[in-house]
Structure 1
Amino acid sequence: MSPAFSVLMPVYAGDDPSHLEAALRSVVDQSVRPDEIVIVEDGPLTDALSDVLDSYERAQGDHFSRYRLRENVGIGNALRVGVRRCEHELVARMDADDISVPDRFERQLAVFERRPDVDVVGGYIAEFDDDPDDCFACRIVPTNHTSIAARARFRNPMNHITVMARRRAILEAGNYRDFLGMEDYDLWVRMLSNEATFANVPSVLAKARIDRDYGQRGGLSVTKAEVRLQRSFYRSGFIDAPILLYNLLTRASVRLLPKRIRGRLITRYTRTPG
């Protein structure tokens, strides 16, 4: 019998109701279904989004929990609340506009059962515009702990929407924090520093809805968050001064480039064809 686990999904007013329905459908149609789905409503939602959640709440009953925040606090803070609300030791992340492959949880649970030392299990993602069956790129990540820890010094070694992790390990590292789109990277580094063990399944576990010309987030506010993040890595001793300088030059500076140029650089250097 597989261990019990929760699925944690934040939802906010800007999400698309049809995307939310597809995301939830991919969760409940799994080969191994979750024991609990925890929805954190990050501020007031539209009627259409509430209708989708109402429908799943009626269908799933006690397996579906909703926690409503009075105002939008951002994904990092919403996840911080959500982790605390999850009842089970294993917590799987899911976003309101992405799709989990049908055997995603089965594959991850098999790793946890086979390797009780592992605290975090993720996998690859495939990226698509509109049709999840027509993916144009994949983000491949290292699979063993040593390679994941090495990659983390330069860029995010995990695909957030694929992660299943031990709740205890998340809380012991300080839980999620507000880091403007980099809350997961911030958490992984703190967990690595706290001696958590990581692994990635060498296959696609989720499909991410991405604008083909998206680029990573940019602008002055995101650049400032990137600088703050890298400085926190340096102050904690996770990276040294040369790596700090390298990351600021190659990561923070890219944030200031026009969106289309950022997109081309990321597609060329961090993705493989779908």
Structure 2
Amino acid sequence: MIIDSKITVGIPFYAKSNIDYLKLSIDSIVNQSFAPTAIHLIQDGNVDDNISKLINRYKKEYPDIIKILILEKKGLPSALNESIKLCSTKYYARMDADDIAFKDRLKEQIYFLEKNEEVEILGAWAIEFESNPKSNSNFINKRPNNQAIINEYFHYMNPLIHSTVVFRMEVFNKIGMYNPKFLTDQDLELWARALKKKVIISNIQTPLLYFRIEGRQNRRSKLSAVKRQIIARYSYNTLSLKCNFLKLSAIIFRLLPSSIRDWGYRNLRNN
């Protein structure tokens, strides 16, 4: 099958982004086996001179595909929305500034979407790591590909790993873009709207990304973040007693001490 569809990749970063991680992230996209049509380097607020010099070097080296968006600091959802508004390709891919894409990530996801035209939001599995992405002890974070399971999964787990996601651009006409009020869990809130609109979601059943987990759990445990998760999860309701129990359990889990959360995150996933 000949793949000729065009795709834009959005990579947001901000003042606290690690410059070494950012470089690895961008390199993994510019070196894809299927070259993206456009790469948006999305600057959310002011950054230091070293980061500015880095992204300008990439712009100079890849002038035809890299676009730098310098935005007033408003948070991730607003930054992504500005990138999506400027996207003129068939597909839009998410990428985080501290993750590393497999070389064939875009090729595999576009190939899947071209073969499965009913799927409008597509994720993939990821290999989680802290320091060494190639360590044998790293964990494969899996997500379901069955729509019925995804509908149930939403109530207690995120059905997609955000930085693996590729959207058909037309899906935003159905569900809207990211809610700027959700500085965390903006993806979960968007998935809720997608599921309510009966949008077909899937995940490729193999890892396509190295997902850096350093510090992520602590960022998600703040009360403001938990509140946003509650709003997102309960915006997509279910009559299932099982799902409602699991939904409540997931919220309580995020309120537990960090040592217990870390243990649970490492030992209870994918069970």
Taking structure 2 as the reference length, the TM-score comes to 0.91
Question: Is 1:90–1:165's contact at 8 Å kept on the other side of the alignment?
Answer: yes
Question: Is 2:37–2:65's contact at 8 Å kept on the other side of the alignment?
Answer: yes
For 1:17 and 1:180, how far apart are their aligned partners in 2? 22
Matches within 5 A, 1:75-90: 75-90=76-91
What RMSD over aligned residues (CA atoms) do the two structures have, in Å? 2.0
Question: Is 2:156–2:249's contact at 8 Å kept on the other side of the alignment?
Answer: no
Tell me the SS of whatever aligns to 1:73: coil
Tell me which moved more, 183-192 or 95-104: 183-192
Question: Is 1:123–1:202's contact at 8 Å kept on the other side of the alignment?
Answer: yes
For 1:10 and 1:17, how far apart are their aligned partners in 2? 13
Tell me which moved more, 3-12 or 239-248: 239-248
For 1:216 and 1:126, how far apart are their aligned partners in 2? 20
Q: Residues 31-56 of structure 1, C-alpha deviation per residue, up to 9 Å, x if partnerless?
A: 10100001221111111111111111
Q: Residues 201-233 of structure 1, C-alpha deviation per residue, up to 9 Å, x if partnerless?
A: 110010111138946721221222222223322
Q: Give the match for residue 233 of structure 1.
A: 236
Matches within 5 A, 1:118-267: 118-134=119-135, 136-177=138-179, 178-211=181-214, 214=217, 217-234=220-237, 239-240=238-239, 242=241, 245-247=244-246, 249-267=248-266
For 2:266 and 2:173, how far apart are their aligned partners in 1? 34
Q: Give the match for residue 101 of structure 1.
A: 102
Flag the 1:46–1:240 CA change in 2: closer, same or farther, 3 A. farther
Flag the 1:48–1:216 CA change in 2: closer, same or farther, 3 A. closer
For 1:114 and 1:241, how far apart are their aligned partners in 2? 33
For 1:16 and 1:270, how far apart are their aligned partners in 2? 27
Displacement after TM superposition at 1:170 (Å): 2.5
* Unaligned residue ranges in structure 1 (runs of 5+): none
Tell me the SS of whatever aligns to 1:123: strand
Flag the 1:67–1:249 CA change in 2: closer, same or farther, 3 A. same
Paired-residue identity, %? 27
For 1:51 and 1:231, how far apart are their aligned partners in 2? 43
Q: Give the match for residue 27 of structure 1.
A: 29
Give the partner amino acid of 2:263: R
Give the partner amino acid of 2:60: R
For 1:11 and 1:192, how far apart are their aligned partners in 2? 28
Matched, 1:116 2:117: yes
For 1:174 and 1:4, how far apart are their aligned partners in 2? 21
Question: Is 1:216–1:266's contact at 8 Å kept on the other side of the alignment?
Answer: no
Q: Give the match for residue 91 of structure 1.
A: 92
Give the partner amino acid of 2:249: T
For 1:212 and 1:46, how far apart are their aligned partners in 2? 21
For 2:260 and 2:245, how far apart are their aligned partners in 1? 20
For 1:206 and 1:29, how far apart are their aligned partners in 2? 14
Flag the 1:214–1:183 CA change in 2: closer, same or farther, 3 A. closer
Flag the 1:243–1:222 CA change in 2: closer, same or farther, 3 A. farther
Tell me the SS of whatever aligns to 2:4: coil
Flag the 1:46–1:257 CA change in 2: closer, same or farther, 3 A. same
